[in-house]
Amino acid sequence: MTLAKLASFGNMFYHFLNAVQTDPQMVLRPGRVAMFMAISVFSITMVLSFFMAIVMKRNFDMDPKLYSSLSLIGMSQAFTGLSVVYYLVNELKLQNTDVGRLTLATAVVTDLLNIIMITISSVTGEKMISRQIIMVWAFITTFAIVILVLFVFRPIILGMIRNTPAGKPVDQKYIFIIIILTLVLGFVSKAIGQHYIFGPALLGLIVPDGPPLGAALVARLDTFILGFLCPTYLAISGLQTNIYERNPREIWIVGILVLFGIAVKTTTVMMTAKLMNLPTKEAFLLAMVLNSKGIVELTIYNFWKENKTSTAARIANALRQYEQNNQGCTNVHSFTSVSLFQTMHDVILRVAIDRRATIVIMPFHKQWAIDGGIESSNASILRLNKRVLEKAHCSVGVLVDRGILKGSANVMTSQSKFNVAIIYLSSPDDAKALEYAARMAKHEQVILTVIRFLLFGKENSVERQ
């Protein structure tokens, strides 16, 4: 078992224990003030932060990865983790005060909205051949887990409580059974495309807090989970983040967006509290607590990072777009294969032979950052390209994409001139490259330059003529 897997188990049981200590009545009946406060804060913060991200994307140059994720970062400023607020309220000794109860009730509703948003994003984010079918299937399986927990596991857990004599500790086998159920639900949630905390969190909500079962679970697991596994999860998340690779400009962009989200959430809470005739001091304290961030937000960011759109999916979408723009002239046939880098060239060449391809286009092994420096270099792709070049039966092109560094645009819609250069050495591959370049030159926005190299001597005098 790797350390990362151990950290994931810790995160899963952390949310399970947090759900065990949550009062389900607070979820079902949060109160009119808390409901209005939560919906106002969540919706206004999400909408304004989303539009702020759009404005920043239009007015600031940034890395393509940051560009594609900035809207999600803005929307995430509306999230408020119940577990983070719960422990903060307990640390501040506010759990028995009016502002503490209002804060927890508001956090319950916002956390429920968080779960709904994450559930929808995980379902709609599935990348399958038939998107509609997989979305319907994901919704059905998610609903099935809810039914399973409520109508199968809940009676079992209530039966455990009934079988425990009053004033006696709960049987250890019941603790073991619930731990196994938590692991099974985490695995099933992951298998259907949800986050692995979805099932365990539902299971925790149906376990009554307090003695005998809820208190026993907290007593057995709390120290080990909070003292060892949760810090491991935080450490692994930190190890997977290299802040030295980040451009200071990008850090400033994200920082400005986060500060904007905090300001919007604080202002919304203060204005809503004013409408509800709440004291200004308590409203400001409520805003500060709701702006707190912790392991819940880290879990969301890690979830988005793990479920980001793959490079292969983006390339496939670009080819489908090209096919739609050239209907009748171009057909795109997708082929997916999983293999090791050591044998991948055999798969590529076999498909090329089966399809009678005249050219194979391979990706360049280097990627450029927005500042012009090399962002990454993949030695495995370099070796793969060499093997394909050595054994290919047809022409091979290596695509060097500098992204927005050189202002890449669609040649069909852009008014800019595109310069194409051909280095001609008189080989058959050069002739093929010249053929492709000649077809490019037919476009009015393409400028073709051919550079031909010739050796002096009798052996190529005919070719020189």
CB 212 within 8 A of CB 169: yes
Please provide residue 225's backbone torsions phi and psi, each rounded to the nearest 5 degrees. Answer: -70, -55
Give the Cα separation of 367 and 454 in Å (integer): 33
Peptide bond into 212 cis (omega under 30): yes
On the 0-12 / 13-18 / 19+ scale of CB atoms within 10 A, 57 is: middle
Give the H/E segment covering residue 424: strand 418-424
Give the Cα separation of 186 and 9 in Å (integer): 9
pLDDT in tens, the chain (465 residues): 477 778 888 888 888 887 887 766 665 565 777 788 888 888 888 889 889 988 888 888 777 777 777 887 888 888 877 777 877 877 777 777 777 778 877 877 777 777 677 666 555 544 444 455 556 666 787 788 888 888 888 888 888 888 888 878 888 888 899 989 999 988 888 877 677 888 888 888 888 877 888 888 888 888 888 888 888 888 888 877 777 767 777 888 888 988 998 999 899 888 888 888 888 888 888 888 888 887 777 877 777 776 655 566 667 777 777 778 777 777 888 777 777 777 888 888 888 888 888 888 888 888 765 555 666 677 888 888 899 988 888 888 888 876 544 544 454 555 567 888 888 887 777 888 888 888 888 888 888 898 888 776 655 555 555
- Other beta carbons within 10 angstroms of residue 407's beta carbon come to 9
Q: Which two tokens stand for residue 273?
A: 């509290």
Give the Cα separation of 419 and 450 in Å (integer): 11
Structure letter (DSSP) for residue 404? G
CB 328 within 8 A of CB 124: no
pTM: 0.59
CB 437 within 8 A of CB 427: no
Q: What is the pLDDT of residue 259?
A: 92
CATH class of the domain at 3-306? mainly alpha
Query: Residue 355: which residues within 8 A CB-CB, separation 6 or more?
Result: 333
**CB crowding 312-342: b at 16 or more within 10 Å, else e:** eeeeeeeeeeeeeeeeeeeeeeeeeeeeeee
Amino acid at 424: Y
Q: Where are the domains of the chain?
A: 3-306, 409-465
Residues in the chain: 465
Question: DSSP 3-state assignment of 96?
Answer: coil
Q: Which two tokens stand for residue 222?
A: 């709390």
Nearest to 289 by CA among 464, 97, 445: 97
Query: Residue 2: which residues within 8 A CB-CB, separation 6 or more?
Result: none
